[in-house]
Structure 1
């Protein structure tokens, strides 16, 4: 028989829930108050014959008193607590942290998987296992779930928010989510389970992981250098992905709380300010058991649920391994509409025909893509090193009907070239230079670390990051000639294309292992890990100047990262360059067989010449930006006019809106200087690349057409 919490703490909590004192229980049992006090303090335990009387007094069965794996159902029932409106009249029309991210399952995958990596239990050496389950409910299954979450109690609050929909963004999202559920008779749940993780440990209110996730905003308790998160923003993606603003949580703890570890339950609802039945509410609400110690016993706290309740809420876990299950209620994937249709199967996406943001097949596909793209290195092992992560995705309907079979994300399928490179490094089979197909070249590149505390120009030491380069075999459908940069937790942080490659370079892929990813024994690995973590913005998608980098190091600290990037690009160009052939190699016989007649040289026009746009390749990037590669032809002349590339949106009438450039780089035959293309004398053609700044786009990129112009002078 399973035995849970110690009898004393368990009994004390049941008395609180039942609203009984020790004296009242003693009177019902016909015993002294001292006897009950001795049970609660652990000095003694009741005789078996008294257990039945205790069960009767608490309104429960004898088995519950013996096992103590759940609370009794007597006293205060599980309910919703809505935070009252502020007495000073202040209003919050949504959680600001949620606006830092799009309602995008690929963003959700990146943030939640990163959190699971950070919470991995390292003592046993095993990977953290994460599973994403998409579950569509219809008919009686939907009705039963709504009953389980007390939907009738929530509906007046959703109705009040819908009335504000015309004036407020969160209100419009919630209104659309409720209407979709009623009009289409379906609700999509997205559950994220992790195993071999710490779980939401700690008290309901005091400092701890539970309070940081469930009670607070912008708090991160991750102290490890290699942790991915540091802002406390990532958890907001859970609520941002819910069209109803509702997330339910079931956690199995690695450290007991109240003597228990399994089925710690809580729910949190994120709504804007609202007025219901003449009473105002501030925004958030919690689903739990009323805390008898709170004023009026109104505040809801976590509770220890029974297995039946967990199953009704679709939060049953596979086993008793520590970890947490997050259930996103009303999951939607708005950003999927902006995804390039070329990245998805034809049967999943029909252009402009089915804009269903709740299509679980489409969401399954995008989850697998994102997890393979961002966490391939964490899922790769070799040479005695175990992977840090295992991930799978599945899609179900109603009572377990399989819509899409569970897919285990395989890094060798999602990123074949880079996985090959990392395994070769782990197994010690890298080479100094690429001479044969399938080889992986390794080279150390320096990162000069600055002194902390703002000491200008000082250097703490040089960290040797590891660069891996291999041919892009098997990466036919993926961007080539890119570097994936990562640090200790092995999540891809930065993806960048190598500029100014020699003409005819064979396609390749590269990996940069920095910080503790380069190995615990790498020089200054710990210091590099700390420095690079501080250089990551909340999205953790690049290394650049941040406020933390400025405060802890200096305003010019980012130049050390620019120096690393320059070293990496130079090393790659050298590794992938083709060996030069002798000018005379194979040429003597050819020269003897040819007769060359001298022709008069064409007269070079005098005066300035204007370069002309000759070719353009454009596509929409992962962040919704326009990414272009442009080719320019240049007439003969003794002076070439500098040109300014200008990105515009095509419109039916009026002036074309101008877009800002986020990136602009020369590839061949030109240089970029303050947004202007300058050309060397005698150049006949040139190539450059660019990416627009998404913040300058007035509408969604997928709904626009791009116009690129070359303008002389200052581009006005």
Structure 2
């Protein structure tokens, strides 16, 4: 038989699990204490007949002792360990990392798929496969699952938290109410395959400890083209649970303790609480007590048997390495208002699993279409799918995300690049034009000079099915969309297009300066990884002005797009100028801008595009002519809801982002124009909580407020 773990470490752990000393084992099997010590230290191994007596003493069979791929069944029972309060009586009333993101399945899809891409087995040419399973348990099915994870031991903790007048307490109370009144529980499981799995020790540095034991530990290698860098993304998994509870089953790519299959653990994230005479710090872990821990109370992962896996709804479909995260009490705030009578009953206070499914599919297609695209003999980096179950029965079949359906034009562009079929200039409808955009990547430490990087710009026609036209999306190594913005200041003779900018390792491993750009752009991403801007890491590693290289890149990329999409005058259709004048109305400049030559002119809001988006907000793109006013002049976009009579109610911005030619200050809520900028563009999203009515039922008036007047 092929043995797993070395005999000595395995036997030492079994003695701890059984609460047995070396002397007690020696007495039971009738050998000397020195013999047992020699086995544990690896200086000797027991004879075959002695192994039989060891198995009897440990309450197991001889095969288990010979193979040593599992622990004996005489170990301590699986249970929950709750961290006691800090010695200085400090309190954390929630996991701050979880509040960095909204409880939104679109955010969850983005973060978990990014992590799975980062953990894709590097030696494999196959994609990492990620599957999302929404499983609604009701009645007896729910109670059997709760019994398997020792719900009776958790309920007093939840009740204590629900009584607290804190945000986490209110969320937990809503989750408990939904379980009790409707007798249902929503599970959301995220499985990845062909990934590394949670390797490493329970406590020492490694993937397992980074995910299960620690906060803000991404455990990512600095040199690779990875997405994550903050160690915050995993918090979205717990943040999507109303109960703060996640169970984990991992198949390891590297053996730990001689095994790879069914490494199981649970983690509970709750705030400080008092339950009876126990005062607890917050987190708790579901596992087997570790005899080596203080008082033998701390729990660690265990190698679960098949029946345990089934009861906990953690069974994996294959022996491929990877990890399954089971989110218990999953919910999605954005799905609450998207329910239909066919999906849920009127009294349902939770999100519909079908609405959650739709949002997952949409998010995966919008953010990872490029990672799902293969070409040039290379397989896609990612495959993703979603399915829905109710009490073990499939109610919505598994659907794999198809990048050609979700993003047909952009997928065509990336595939042409991978296949090597791009052209310099488009002459046919389906041609993909390619152009290099050089970025000067700064050197670390503020050193003078830089590393030139050749980013790849791809432009193709827009399909009718595209939800937005004339946009430039940008990404780096793992091909997750980081930036998606309209190209500003386009002339009226442009045919609808889509543009893709591949940076870093996404431009190809042989692209000039690819690794330097990967490092730089990764440092320029906030925790959401949805833009490139000034960050604390960027300023510390490079310089306080390093972010200007990004503004230059965006400006050069937009200029390159215009060069590829503007129709030469000889090819313009007849009447083009007349049509342009009929369809485009420019804002009338203020009177002061027509004053004597040399007099300062005020900023003008020249162009505005706005539309309602899925979150219920208005998304606004604006273009400003900065004029010649001093920088100290106040200039800020504002939004009002259009009304037939009376004053238009002002709504707040949820976010404002400077795109080109300007910077945005959160402190004074205003724009500052870059010296010499002839145009400035920004993107803003309204705060739906300040809307008097739904965005889809209203009109929006956007104004630019300055120190003296408003420009409409």
Q: TM > 0.5 between the two?
A: yes
For 2:442, the equivalent position in structure 1 comes to 450
- Comparing 119-128 with 278-287, greater Cα deviation is found at 119-128
Change (3 A) 1:23 1:104: same
1:487 counterpart (467, 470, 476): 476
Change (3 A) 1:573 1:14: same
Matched, 1:557 2:537: no
**Residue number in structure 2 paired with 1:378:** 371
Going from structure 1 to structure 2, the CA distance change for 1:30 and 1:643 (only over 3 Å counts) comes to closer
On the 8 A contact 2:343/2:352 being kept in 1, the answer is no
User: 1:410: Cα distance to partner?
Assistant: 1.4
1:626 aligns with 2:625: no
Q: Indicate if the aligned counterparts of 1:647 and 1:706 stay in contact, CA closer than 8 A.
A: no
CA distance in 1, matches of 2:689, 2:110: 26
- SS of match in other structure, 1:510: strand
Indicate the larger mover: 79-88 or 57-66. 57-66
Question: Given the alignment of the two structures, is residue 580 of structure 1 paired with residue 578 of structure 2, yes or no?
Answer: no
Which residue of structure 2 aligns with residue 173 of structure 1? 171
Q: 1:329 to 1:586 in 2, by over 3 A?
A: closer
1:17-73, Cα deviation, whole Å (9 max, x unpaired) = 010012211211222233333443445544454444333322334554444433223
Mapped partners of 2:85, 2:574: distance in 1: 84
Cα deviation for residue 606 of structure 1 reads 10
In structure 2, the residue matched to 1:593 is: none
In the TM superposition, what is the alpha-carbon distance from 1:621 to its structure 2 partner?
Answer: 3.6
Larger radius of gyration: 1
Residues 217 and 441 (structure 1), Cα distance of their counterparts in 2 relative to 1, 3 Å cut: same
The answer to whether 1:389 aligns with 2:387 is: no
Q: What is the aligned partner in structure 2 of residue 462 from structure 1?
A: 452
> Cα deviation per residue 1:178-213 (whole Å; 9 max; x = unaligned)?
111111111111111111111111111111111111
Match of residue 556, structure 2, among 558, 567, 589: 567
Local SS of the residue matching 2:569: coil
Where 1:581 maps in the other structure, the secondary structure is: helix
User: Equivalents in 1 of 2:35, 2:504: separation in Å?
Assistant: 59
CA contact (8 A) 1:612 1:710 kept: no
Distance 1:578 1:707, change over 3 A: closer
- Alpha-carbon distance between aligned partners in 1 of 2:319 and 2:551, rounded to the nearest angstrom: 47
Q: What's the CA shift string for 1:602-636, capped at 9, x where partnerless? A: xxx9999999999986433466642246899xxxx
**1:317 CA displacement:** 1.3
Contact 2:605/2:704 (8 A) holds in 1 = no
The answer to whether the 8 Å contact 2:249/2:263 transfers is yes
Listed as ranges, the matches of 1:218-229 within 5 Å are 218-223=216-221, 224-229=223-228
Please tell me whether the aligned partners of residues 417 and 474 of structure 1 are also in contact (alpha carbons under 8 angstroms).
no
For the Cα contact (< 8 Å) 1:626–1:691, is it kept in 2? no
How far residue 566 of structure 1 moved from its aligned partner, in angstroms, is 0.7
Q: Which residue of 2 aligns with 1:404?
A: 396
Contact 1:120/1:196 (<8 A) preserved = yes
Cα contact 1:490–1:517 (8 A) shared by 2: yes
Q: Report the CA distance between 1:242 and its aligned residue.
A: 0.5
Which residue, 186, 189, 209 being the options, matches 1:211?
209
Q: Tell me how far apart the structure 1 counterparts of residues 376 and 517 of structure 2 sit (CA, whole Å).
A: 24
The residue aligned with 1:671 is: none
* Deviations, residues 517-563 of structure 1 (Å, cap 9, x unaligned): 11111111111111111111100001111111111111111111111
SS of the residue corresponding to residue 627 of structure 1 reads strand
Classify 1:80/1:676 alpha carbon distance in 2 versus 1 (closer, same or farther; 3 Å): closer
Relative distance call for 1:158 and 1:621 in structure 2 (3 A) is same
| Structural mapping, 1:228-377, within 5 Å | 228-337=227-336, 357-377=350-370
Q: Does 1:129 align with 2:121?
A: no
Residues of 2 paired with 1:264 and 1:101: CA distance? 28
In structure 1, stretches of 5+ residues that fail to align are 588-604, 633-641, 668-673, 678-686
1:143-187 per-position Cα deviation (integer Å, ceiling 9, x unaligned): 1110110000000000101111xx200111111111111111111
C-alpha contact 2:604 2:704 (8 A) present in aligned 1: no
Contact 1:645/1:709 (8 A) holds in 2: yes
Q: Which of residues 487, 490, 514 in structure 2 aligns to 1:501?
A: 490
CA displacement at 1:318 relative to structure 2? 1.8
Aligned counterparts of 1:472 and 1:282: Cα–Cα separation in 2: 54
Q: Find the partner of 1:662 among 625, 631, 656.
A: 656
Please tell me whether the aligned partners of residues 101 and 236 of structure 2 are also in contact (alpha carbons under 8 angstroms).
yes
Q: Equivalent residue for 2:585? A: none
Q: Calculate the TM-score normalised by the size of structure 1.
A: 0.85
Name the residue aligned to 2:418.
Answer: 426
Contact 2:79–2:289 (CA under 8 A) maintained in structure 1: yes
Structure 1 stretch displaced more, 650-659 or 552-561: 650-659
Shift of 1:303: 1.1
**Contact 1:225/1:533 (<8 A) preserved:** no
Retained in 2: the 8 A contact 1:117–1:128?
yes
Distance 1:469 1:688 in 2: 23
Q: Is the 8 A contact 1:208 1:221 kept in 2?
A: yes
Match of 2:188 in 1: 190
1:670 equivalent in structure 2: none
Structure 2: which 5+ residue stretches go unaligned? 577-589, 595-601, 625-633, 662-669, 674-678
Does 1:29 find its partner at 2:52?
A: no
The answer (yes or no) to whether the contact 2:128–2:382 under 8 Å persists in 1 is yes
CA distance in 2, matches of 1:557, 1:391: 36
| SS, match of residue 246 in structure 2 | strand
Give the deviation of 1:659 after TM superposition: 2.7
Q: Aligned Cα RMSD in Å?
A: 3.6
Using the TM superposition, give the Cα deviation of residue 644 of structure 1 relative to its aligned residue in structure 2, in angstroms: 7.5
Q: Is the 8 A contact 1:649 1:657 kept in 2?
A: yes
> In the alignment, is the contact (CA less than 8 A) between 2:335 and 2:352 conserved in 1?
no
- Relative to structure 1, the CA distance from residue 577 to residue 584 in structure 2 (aligned partners, 3 Å threshold; closer, same or farther) is closer
Q: Any conservation in 2 of the 1:471–1:507 contact (CA below 8 Å)?
A: yes
Aligned length: 662
State TM-score, norm by structure 2. Answer: 0.85
Does structure 2 retain, via aligned residues, the 8 Å contact 1:239–1:270? yes
